[in-house]
Chains A and B, each alone.
Chain A
Amino acid sequence: MTQAFRLPTGGIIDRSRPLRFEFDGTAYEGYAGDTLASALLANGVHLVARSFKYHRPRGILCSGSDEPNALLQLDRGARTEPNVRATTQELFDGLIAASQNRWPSLRFDVGAINNALSRLLPAGFYYKTFMWPPTPRWWLRYEHFIRRAAGIGRSATAPDPDRYEHQYAHCDVLVIGGGPAGLAAARAAAHAGARVIVCDENPAFGGDLRGMNDDSANIDGKACATWIDEAVRDLSDSADVTLLTRTTAFGYYDGNLVALSERVADHLAAPLAHMPRQRMWKVRAGTVVLASGAHERGIAYAGNDLPGTLLAGAARTYIDRHAVRPGSRAVVFTNNDSAYAAALSLSRAGIAIGAIVDAREDSELTGALAVRAREHGIRIVSGSMVPAAHGSKRVTAVDIESLSGGRGTRVDCDLVCVSGGWNPAVHLFSQARGSLRYDESLAAFVPERSPLAIVAAGGVNGCSDVGGALADGHAAGLNAAAKAGFRGPASYAAPHAEPVAPGRLRPLWSVPARDRSGKRFVDLQNDVTVSDIALAVREGYESVEHLKRYTTLGMGTDQGKTSNIVGLALLAEQLHRPISAVGTTTFRPPYTPVTLGAYPGEEAGAHLEPTRYSAMHDWHVAHGARFINAGLWRRAHSYPRAGETPDDAANREAKNVRTNVGLVDVSTLGKIELQGNDVAEFLNRVYINRWDTLAVGRCRYGVMLRDDGMVLDDGTTSRLADSHYLMTTTTVNAVEVMQHLEALLQIDWPELDVYLTSVTEQWSAAALSGPKAREVLAAVVDIDVSNAAFPFLAVGTCTVRGAAGPMPARLFRMSYSGELAYEIHVPADRGRATWEALLAAGARYGIMPYGTEAMSTLRIEKGHVVIGPEADGRTTADDLGMGKLVNAAKWCVGKPLLSRPALIAPDRWQLVGLTALDGAVMPRGAKIVADPDHALPNPMLGHVTSWCWSPNLESWIALALVANGRARHGETLWAVSPLADAKARVRVRIGPPTFIDPDGERLRG
């Protein structure tokens, strides 16, 4: 199809670069420089969407990011994107777009039945019905259809193939908006010496002036376009200025952090190699100059949503910037001067103007633009308004009526250009906790005061002409630079443009309805009408926030840019209150919707959190280990051999530790070095047991409590030298314990001479355990490890001999498995060599590596508690059978609160051991009850915390917390797991938690 509605000349499109695109299956052509919207209009396509609720035919209303109607689905496959504003999407070759929310087609949409039923569907109708039959199931049924009808576009179903980036930046002055005010501000600030960032959401700078064809306006005696080019060149010549186009400032956060979304590749079919699709900037700005301009608003009259209705400024943009003829016969409906500029553009483009319908009286039409329009011979019908527009899928005529009443006339037209005035784009100012002031002459809210360093300039400040915007911008730029300390010489003069005498605006929000047939839309995206607002007020939803929520006014993807103020004004009218007393709703980020993918940036998918590996990881992989996640770590669960399940393997490994010897990677344990003269005192305060008696070369098991007396963590601490200790923590709690200790040292006891260093990554650790552990160790170390020379809880240093040469190590004699055991710590880069040396030396003793599963079996058999299952944040040391460790003679963190009545009550859940009777399998996550057949709710006496098949005892055993458990040794109760099987029940015998070697002979042997 040819571009039948393209003007023969003009515009800032590149006619030498035609681009093909497709809309709803039809192929079209546009030019480089087009937006999707301008290209559609150039092809005469006005009907582009169906509305959300009533499925009314909708066209293109705006020319920028305020567009409520023209939301299209872009592309197909994994790159498909819903709700793309045709008005901001730049055209590229091969673009594929489709209309949304219609079935079976845009022209014939079954959903339009809602329009016919609309009387049954006023604002909030769903709160009043769908309550019968009175069961939740029925609402789910109704909801099913409501949900299918709702939503606009469709989400992709495949993962997004594109990449996103984050960029952090600092600047003295951030200028948001690159129109005349923003450019003037940026130049003023840059010439004063400030580091400046300027961003604009459009593909090029210039704001509303971009591509405008207005021979009467000039800046510093030059055509506007020339001045813009020069300004941009001047700014880009400065090393201290960063210019960002296609970049929207969308969120204003504490400390003048402004988030920008840069659409790096959205104007292309796909990002080029190495190009992110989008880049999120986090700019910490000294001062922000907000030069975000203003959004035009409409007027609510019957049929104001028909395709062919454009905001006057948008019509002008399409004509001047894109050389598009949006209609052949237009009516302009306005209450202010700005629409006259559009009328002049229409007239220049040869579009017939049926009339300019102006709500103002003739005597008020004194503004320069109005005067010029009159000089051009354009018919002006003053003191009048448009009560209704006619047409079905495109406007065909409007009625014109005098404000004072009387018979109206009907004028044929295929284009209505509306202007109800301008709303400063105060969103970011409001996000910056700025207050707003209602300006009567603009009939709009303008920035007042903000506690943050932000200055508004230009249109957002209420300037309505270029001259005013330039002067305001220049002053704001100087002001912002000065705030950042740059009061440089005034080497740069303010740009100048002749002021245009404005005419006064006459507020007009809606045109009184003549009859009930037509709908007067306020929010086009959410189909909110004037009567919806009246209904809300009638029912008492009269706070602005109630109005918004009850009617959904302004809650669409456009966040009500064109509708909010109209809605507020109508609310005020209904309530007979001034608009200033009604106030606005909160402006919430983001300013325009931001792609989800841009928020995580690179930290997406597998990079959501770092993955941590021990130095022996590759060995585990090479030896067939199965892995599990433990916090951020990957740990070897077991090392299955051919034909073995992981559980078989774990049983074999666990058994081998009790009979021969095993080696397990415990590098993931948290390791904290403590140095200083007061470490013993510090340990005394953080652990429940005593530490000042620990000799050099010895280690001790300790338990630390939270402030509330519950067990926080356990582990060993070794005294390596006089004032040098090493603490180990559990894997999961390594960070928490470090934070806990640092907080105590920095906040509570800064006077203690203790320094902490986390060395978890620096040291690899392996535990060697089993009756033959000593023989294996003796074969590789250079010290005497006999029981006499290196007894239980001894600590020392040694050298491990291995294929890679001698390796310095720290040696600890401690046991988690309950067997004779040692821990060998070496610098991480020696981890794997040491591991291999131990395995090599152990070969003749039947050594096997074992994983976390066997480790868990061994510790359950031994009755060792784990932080998480047993110490679940609700257990005291006494609950866990370690009450005796609490040293009565000293204070420690958490101890004062241990004596609270509920913590010493007789029915506390205490740690016990369970043995499954009758040869039964212990169910996962079981609860302990007295009577499995008790009616629900069935009182729970406790629960299983850890359980396993014990290959050494040949039965299912478990650790459990059971009410008053220590007094129940010998009792039998029931373990049940109704989640898995309502009938399943297992008889369990309660006993002490230590199943193996209760006296600890093995580990001391």
Chain B
Amino acid sequence: MRYSIFSLARNALSYHEHWPLAWRSPAPKARYDAIIIGGGGHGLATAYYLAKEHALSNIAVLEKSWLGGGNTGRNTTIVRSNYHLDPNAHFYEFSLKLWESLSQELNFNVMYSARGVLNLVHSPADMDASIRRGNAMRLNGIDAKFLTRDEIARWIPNLDCSPEARFPIHGGLLQPRGGTVRHDAVAWGYARAADALGVDVIQQCEVTGIRIDRGAIQGVETTQGFITTTKLGIAVAGHSGHVAAMAGLRLPIESHVLQAMVSEPVKPVLNTVVTSGAVHFYISQSDKGELVMGGDLDFYNSYAQRGNLPAIELVVSACLALFPSFGRLKLMRTWGGIMDMTMDGSPIIAKLPVKGLTMSGGWCYGGFKATPASGWLHAYTIARDEPHPLNAAFTLERFAEGGMIDEKGAGPYAWAH
């Protein structure tokens, strides 16, 4: 059933008792043409585009828990393409273009809200770097705008733009098309659309082993039994290292915990996404009215989806340094997700050195915004057995070859990106 105001009205007449399942809950078949491990946004998108763009029909997504319950359902929902290195810029811009029409594509309102992403500038050095980045964006055909301090002060009155601020605001780089997307809707929308194309979305099915014979994928062991396939895509974010190890691979990825948090809901006080590099902080207000914020990692390796108090204190300190009038609001909920941190801060969307095995992962802080492009390109790579030009740089081999895509220049330290 197509979702629309009309179907909503029609169903209202029958008290919403005839809405169909958004997706089936099929039992796994013995064999699939392609299997994607991980029912997050990336895995579901990959399956969707495999079915949609490459006419593969016998596909399964295996999710160990409930779909969308990993980082897809835990992130701060910021989407943007304000990168200065070419491979990143082209990749994330492709993604942003897909976001722009994703609700219609999936017939599921993912609420792509282009309310702008403003990156604050706090020092002359920051200013140089921001302008350089903005120029790179413009030359790559990406929207970017520089705002002066006064323009920012007028636009966001509760931001402390005074010169007395500990890190005074000198201006900001705005990407007007940046914004937020409703995270759960992305998982559900892709799941529903993939299911409609015949993809089996299988929850509570953990992959526990990968069977390889003579260097080629034979299938996967799962908590619901062995399933045969020759094409296997890994899209498990924070568990990338763990799952790749089942294929005997050691990835240049570390798993770290990142926390996020929301305040209690209040009437609109912030109409855009504000980020700051000086204090590593990002904030937006959800449609429900909660202030959604995050900052740094907890800075220790972990698979536990929970963090500790110091990281939260830092985030809130940064929040109040920028927005002193939020001091009496209350923090309502904090949580953590497991970040797949690579050694250069950029993802891997590539064939792996086992025949039939591919992955997309290594998302660091920012893989949510990549979801549509990553799914699209991962599907392309699986279907064509070669990367698309847009993901050609995101190889596993780049680390050995020296072709790092190090946007921050932070070096081969997973936690630093």
Chain A contact residues, CB within 8 Å of chain B? 52, 78-83, 119-120, 122, 125-132, 134, 136-137, 139-140, 143, 146-148, 150-160, 162, 251, 253-254, 257, 259, 282, 431, 516, 531, 535, 538-541, 543, 545-546, 549-550, 552, 555, 557, 559, 586, 588-590, 593-597, 599-601, 603-609, 611, 628-630, 706-710, 712, 868-869, 872-874, 897, 900-903, 924-927, 929, 936-938, 940, 943-944, 946, 976-980, 982
Q: A596-B316, A600-B313 are in contact. Are A980 and B124 (CB under 8 A)?
A: no
State the CA gap A52–B267 with chains docked (Å): 12
A136-B113, A157-B158 given. 18 additional CB < 8 A pairs? A119-B16, A128-B108, A136-B177, A140-B113, A154-B266, A155-B326, A156-B325, A156-B327, A535-B16, A538-B16, A540-B23, A600-B313, A608-B279, A609-B167, A707-B412, A979-B137, A979-B138, A979-B144
Which chain B residue lies CB-closest to A160?
Answer: B327
CB <8 Å contact, B319 and A596: yes
Within 8 A of A (CB), among B281-329: 285, 287-289, 306, 308-309, 312-313, 316-321, 324-329
Within 8 A of A (CB), among B1-35: 3-5, 7-9, 12, 15-17, 19-25
Chain A CB within 8 A of B222 CB: no
CB <8 Å contact, B330 and A593: yes
Q: A157-B325, A588-B335 are in contact. Are A979 and B131 (CB under 8 A)?
A: yes
State the CA gap A119–B313 with chains docked (Å): 43
Within 8 A of A (CB), among B102-145: 103-104, 107-109, 111-115, 122-125, 127-141, 144-145
0/1 string, B86-108, CB within 8 A of A gives 1? 10001000000000110110011
CB <8 Å contact, A595 and B136: no
Which chain B residue lies CB-closest to A129?
Answer: B5
A-B contact pairs, 20 of them (CB 8 A): A82-B329, A120-B8, A131-B107, A152-B266, A153-B266, A158-B325, A257-B309, A539-B20, A540-B24, A543-B65, A549-B73, A559-B333, A590-B333, A596-B326, A596-B327, A605-B166, A708-B404, A869-B125, A872-B409, A902-B404
Chain B residues near A946 (CB-CB < 8 A): 128
* CB-contact partner of A251 in B131, B309, B326, under 8 A: B309
CB <8 Å contact, A925 and B135: yes
Q: A157-B325, A608-B166 are in contact. Are A282 and B317 (CB under 8 A)?
A: no
CB <8 Å contact, B411 and A153: no
Chain A residues near B329 (CB-CB < 8 A): 81-82, 155, 595-596
Chain B contact residues, CB within 8 Å of chain A? 3-5, 7-9, 12, 15-17, 19-25, 65-66, 68-69, 73, 86, 90, 100-101, 103-104, 107-109, 111-115, 122-125, 127-141, 144-146, 157-158, 160, 164-168, 177, 182, 184-185, 188-189, 203, 263-269, 279, 285, 287-289, 306, 308-309, 312-313, 316-321, 324-335, 343, 398, 400-404, 406, 408-412
* CB-contact partner of B19 in A254, A535, A940, under 8 A: A535
State the CA gap A132–B167 with chains docked (Å): 43
* CB-contact partner of A545 in B69, B115, B313, under 8 A: B69
Chain B residues near A901 (CB-CB < 8 A): 401-402
State the CA gap A944–B330 with chains docked (Å): 45
CB <8 Å contact, A900 and B325: no
CB <8 Å contact, A940 and B136: yes
CB <8 Å contact, A151 and B288: yes
Q: A539-B19, A927-B139 are in contact. Are A140 and B115 (CB under 8 A)?
A: yes
CB <8 Å contact, B398 and A902: yes
CB <8 Å contact, B109 and A129: yes
Chain A residues near B289 (CB-CB < 8 A): 147, 150-152
Minimum CB–CB distance from B126 to chain A (whole Å) comes to 9
Minimum CB–CB distance from A89 to chain B (whole Å) comes to 13
State the CA gap A535–B15 with chains docked (Å): 10
Minimum CB–CB distance from B301 to chain A (whole Å) comes to 13
State the CA gap A636–B318 with chains docked (Å): 26
CB <8 Å contact, A628 and B331: no
CB <8 Å contact, B264 and A629: no
Minimum CB–CB distance from B325 to chain A (whole Å) comes to 5
State the CA gap A980–B145 with chains docked (Å): 8
Per CB-CB distance, the 10 closest pairs between chain A and chain B, nearest first, are A873-B409, A151-B289, A925-B131, A900-B402, A160-B327, A593-B330, A902-B402, A159-B324, A599-B316, A936-B141
Chain B residues near A555 (CB-CB < 8 A): 333
CB <8 Å contact, B188 and A127: yes
Q: A81-B328, A122-B16, A146-B287 are in contact. Are A259 and B309 (CB under 8 A)?
A: yes
Minimum CB–CB distance from B269 to chain A (whole Å) comes to 5
Chain B residues near A120 (CB-CB < 8 A): 8-9, 12
Q: A82-B329, A539-B20, A925-B130 are in contact. Are A140 and B114 (CB under 8 A)?
A: yes
Minimum CB–CB distance from A446 to chain B (whole Å) comes to 22
Q: A139-B103, A535-B16, A596-B263 are in contact. Are A936 and B140 (CB under 8 A)?
A: yes
* CB-contact partner of B3 in A129, A259, A282, under 8 A: A129
State the CA gap A122–B268 with chains docked (Å): 23
State the CA gap A943–B86 with chains docked (Å): 13
CB <8 Å contact, B203 and A541: no
State the CA gap A936–B313 with chains docked (Å): 43
State the CA gap A157–B160 with chains docked (Å): 11
State the CA gap A708–B66 with chains docked (Å): 39
Minimum CB–CB distance from A868 to chain B (whole Å) comes to 6
* CB-contact partner of B135 in A157, A606, A927, under 8 A: A927
Which chain A residue lies CB-closest to B290?
Answer: A151
State the CA gap A555–B287 with chains docked (Å): 14
Which chain A residue lies CB-closest to B108?
Answer: A127
CB <8 Å contact, B287 and A134: no
CB <8 Å contact, A596 and B124: no
CB <8 Å contact, A596 and B266: no
Minimum CB–CB distance from B306 to chain A (whole Å) comes to 8
CB <8 Å contact, A604 and B313: no
Minimum CB–CB distance from A726 to chain B (whole Å) comes to 26
Minimum CB–CB distance from A659 to chain B (whole Å) comes to 26
CB <8 Å contact, A152 and B128: no
* CB-contact partner of B4 in A129, A540, A545, A706, under 8 A: A129
CB <8 Å contact, B401 and A900: yes
* CB-contact partner of A150 in B3, B17, B129, B287, under 8 A: B287
CB <8 Å contact, B188 and A629: no
Chain B residues near A628 (CB-CB < 8 A): 123-124
State the CA gap A710–B165 with chains docked (Å): 34
Which chain B residue lies CB-closest to A709?
Answer: B402
State the CA gap A706–B22 with chains docked (Å): 50
CB <8 Å contact, A151 and B267: yes
State the CA gap A629–B157 with chains docked (Å): 24
Which chain B residue lies CB-closest to A535?
Answer: B16
Chain B residues near A160 (CB-CB < 8 A): 324-325, 327-328
State the CA gap A235–B321 with chains docked (Å): 41
CB <8 Å contact, A154 and B331: no
State the CA gap A628–B139 with chains docked (Å): 30
CB <8 Å contact, B320 and A605: yes
* CB-contact partner of A937 in B66, B140, B308, B412, under 8 A: B140
Chain B residues near A152 (CB-CB < 8 A): 264-267, 289
CB <8 Å contact, A600 and B268: no
Which chain B residue lies CB-closest to A557?
Answer: B264
CB <8 Å contact, B266 and A541: no
Kindly name the residue among B138, B319, B325, B402 whose own CB sees the greatest number of chain A CB atoms within 10 A: B402
State the CA gap A588–B168 with chains docked (Å): 34
Chain B residues near A629 (CB-CB < 8 A): 122-123, 167-168
* CB-contact partner of B317 in A131, A136, A540, A603, under 8 A: A603
Minimum CB–CB distance from B190 to chain A (whole Å) comes to 13
State the CA gap A125–B4 with chains docked (Å): 10
State the CA gap A668–B214 with chains docked (Å): 60
CB <8 Å contact, A136 and B128: no
State the CA gap A78–B107 with chains docked (Å): 45
State the CA gap A710–B403 with chains docked (Å): 12
